[in-house]
Amino acid sequence: MSCADQSFSTHLSRIAPALTLALLFPCTQASATQTINGDTVVVTATRTAQTADASMASVQVISRSDIERSQANDVAELLRFFAGVDIGRSGGPGQQTSVFIRGAESNHTLMLIDGVKANTATDGGAAWQNIDPALIDHIEIVRGPRSSLYGSEAIGGVVQIFTRKPSKGVSEGGSFGLGSNNTVRGDARLSGTQGKVRGSMALSFQNTDGFQTLISQTDDRGYNNKTVNVDVGVDLGAVDVAFSTWVTKGKTEYYAGFPPFISPADQDFRNQVTAITLSGSPVDNWDSRLKLSFNEDRIAQNQSSDVADTERWAADWQNDIQLGETQLLTVGAYAANENVDSLSFGTRVDEDKNITALFGQDQVTLGQVSLLLATRYTDDEIFGTETTWNTTLGYHFADGTSVYASAGTGYKAPSFFDLFGFGGNAGLNPEKSTNYEVGIKHRINTGNRLSLTAFWNDIDDLINFVDPDGFGGPLPGQNINIDKARIRGVEVEYHYAFGHWSGYVSGTYQNPEDRATNDQLSRRAKKSLTATLDYRTGPYQFGGHFLATGERDDSAFNTTVLRGYGVLDLNASKKINPNLTVRGRLENVFDKDYQTAGGFKTQGRAVFLNLDFSGKGI
């Protein structure tokens, strides 16, 4: 089947009348962390604002203060200390990084940046290693499928990254840091609002010599990253107009090839998310928002002509209609054009496709009972149509306890590499999942809450490369929808705050299983425990992050078993004055030797120091 039988404009014309209405009647969407009676407001689980306690989903928020305490160098370092998240990293800073949520595949985790999909269409993954936390306001993690709202990739869960937005008045800030591996990093930002106009600009950089990436090699492999984030907007009354762009680029050193033919190499990367958002309220009970976006993910090898470049142009229109005091109806439309231009190991892929979708969600509250129904119809130019759905029923007791049960489906579209790369098969179907979940949440008091979640996820039609006579034989191999997986598990979380102390403890037990072989799925542990501790007194803060995880298989292509491990990070800070804070982090305190990907080293004991500045302008 051809990937470009129709133009993007033809598909966009299907929803043109709706988009025209959205241009006339858009609405505003807050993106900074907000709270109600001490409970954090989240938007990713339902595309609408609700408190984390009221959300009938497994939701975790990493706040700006969490990010500052952790002093993490990239997003993956943040995510690994939260329930249900496994990280696979092929070495040090900038190296390929995979994020697994609830035992699903790494390309079953959807990454959003300010509401824009950032997964590459090349292979379905995301560049977690290239996102500098310095420019992030907060992160929302939703565990469980959300394809009914966001489409492809949202099988294991969704991670939405909210960049820092314009502040009230005028403010400026920044930081500068030094650390192990000759690491130097810094950022600067300027933000403000004047009347109906608002704007912010932020810049950051990182440079490190890295460390020994491969166990079999002794050389360090370095990494550098420069990021710019710009956000400007104007409130015109009936319409609010906003422009935002986030761009990061740099170079990663690594080792290319396979043993014994391994050689040092490096690659240039560029990731970009740019959007124009129009929003407003046509009438009192109707909020509407149109987001026109562009996303690019590009990697270019410097020792060869290999390149992987994905571009995605998209229009996402959402309408939230309040029907009385008990019902919120969300309806919308989505259109996108995805283009891939890649060359890998002599195989050229230069294809594009169009995607259109309609989605709807109904949230009803009747006394203490809540009901959510959601569905999405997607028309993909290559594999055809897919309908996904989600339904949740909850009950809220007067003592702060909530119980809920949900069922839903998800899907992952075949990537362009699956379709047209090595072993490509243009007749592939999407990978599909069916998920069941029950949960209970109990709010003890402000700052103290407990939750327990059990989940079951069956994933069918997983794509795998099948070679009938072994690699390199006379018969060609091909990608086929052949594998099946089942993940069952339980998550327990406790957030606490007592006087000067606060923190978070979570435990996950899951069985990520290949249903054909009964083997444990690669790089996903059955057991994990994470904990954070924070103590504050006067200008001082002391804290730590702890992670313990069980053993797991490395890959279906080898018999390596990655041992379980425990790692502890410590952090401390002192506020010198209202505008100046000095921070320190000791990573891997006990210098544990462990691997998250077979044959690749991880960071040993390391020290990092940061000086943060913030202030109000004139």
pLDDT bin (cut points 50, 70, 90) of residue 51 is: confident
Mean pLDDT, to the nearest integer, of 194-222? 94
Share of the chain above pLDDT 70, in %: 92
pLDDT, residue 251, reads 97
Whether the bond between 17 and the residue before it is cis, its omega within 30 degrees of 0, is no
| 383-413 pLDDT per residue, tens | 999 999 999 999 999 888 999 999 999 999 9
Residue 482 CB neighbour total at 10 angstroms: 12
| Residue 197 near residue 242, CB atoms below 8 Å | no
Q: Which CATH number fits domain 8-616: 2.40.170.20, 3.40.190.10, 2.60.40.420, 1.25.40.10?
A: 2.40.170.20
| 243-269 pLDDT per residue, tens | 999 999 999 999 987 777 789 999 999
pLDDT, residue 30, reads 46
Kindly give the residue spans of alpha helices, DSSP state H, lying in 27-97.
64-70, 75-79
pLDDT, residue 22, reads 40
Share of the chain above pLDDT 90, in %: 82
Query: Cα(507)–Cα(493) distance, rounded to whole angstroms?
Result: 7
pLDDT, residue 16, reads 46
**Ranges of each domain in the chain:** 8-616
Q: Using alpha carbons only, what angle is made at residue 440 by residues 435 and 441, rounded to the nearest 5 degrees?
A: 125
Mean pLDDT, to the nearest integer, of 505-528? 94
Query: Cα(21)–Cα(183) distance, rounded to whole angstroms?
Result: 50
Query: Cα(268)–Cα(302) distance, rounded to whole angstroms?
Result: 7
Count Cβ atoms within 10 A of the Cβ of residue 208 and give its class: 0-12 exposed, 13-18 middle, 19 or more buried.
buried
pLDDT bin (cut points 50, 70, 90) of residue 31 is: low
Amino acid at 474: P
pLDDT, residue 475, reads 55
Query: Positive or negative CA dihedral for 510, 515, 518, 520?
Result: negative
pLDDT, residue 486, reads 97
| 525-561 pLDDT per residue, tens | 999 999 999 999 999 999 999 999 999 999 888 889 9
| 125-157 pLDDT per residue, tens | 999 999 999 999 999 999 999 999 999 999 999
Q: How far is CA 222 from CA 219, 251, 298, in A?
A: 10, 8, 19
Amino acid at 606: A
Using a cut of 0.75, tell me whether the model's pTM lies above it: yes
Q: How far is CA 456 from CA 59, 151, 278, 529, in A?
A: 17, 20, 39, 20
Kindly report the average pLDDT of the chain as a whole number: 91
Query: Cα(420)–Cα(121) distance, rounded to whole angstroms?
Result: 12
| Residue 475 near residue 481, CB atoms below 8 Å | no
Is pLDDT at 120 greater than 80 in this prediction?
Answer: yes
Q: How many CA atoms lie within 13 A of 82 on its CB side?
A: 24
Is pLDDT at 11 greater than 80 in this prediction?
Answer: no
| 452-471 pLDDT per residue, tens | 999 999 999 999 988 766 65
Is pLDDT at 81 greater than 80 in this prediction?
Answer: yes
Amino acid at 260: P
Length of the chain as a residue count? 618
pLDDT bin (cut points 50, 70, 90) of residue 321 is: very high
String of DSSP letters for 556-585: TTS--EEPPEEEEEEEEEEEEETTEEEEEE
Query: Cα(370)–Cα(391) distance, rounded to whole angstroms?
Result: 11
Is pLDDT at 351 greater than 80 in this prediction?
Answer: yes
| 552-588 pLDDT per residue, tens | 999 888 889 999 999 999 999 999 999 999 999 999 9
Is pLDDT at 616 greater than 90 in this prediction?
Answer: no
Closest-CA residue to 66 (of 608, 532, 500, 538): 532
DSSP state of 65: H
Mean pLDDT, to the nearest integer, of 310-336? 97
Closest-CA residue to 412 (of 430, 392, 400, 399): 430
Q: Using alpha carbons only, what angle is made at residue 203 by residues 198 and 209, rounded to the nearest 5 degrees?
A: 165
Q: What phi and psi values does residue 420 have, to the nearest 5 degrees?
A: -130, -5
Query: Positive or negative CA dihedral for 470, 476, 482, 485?
Result: positive
Residue 219 CB neighbour total at 10 angstroms: 13
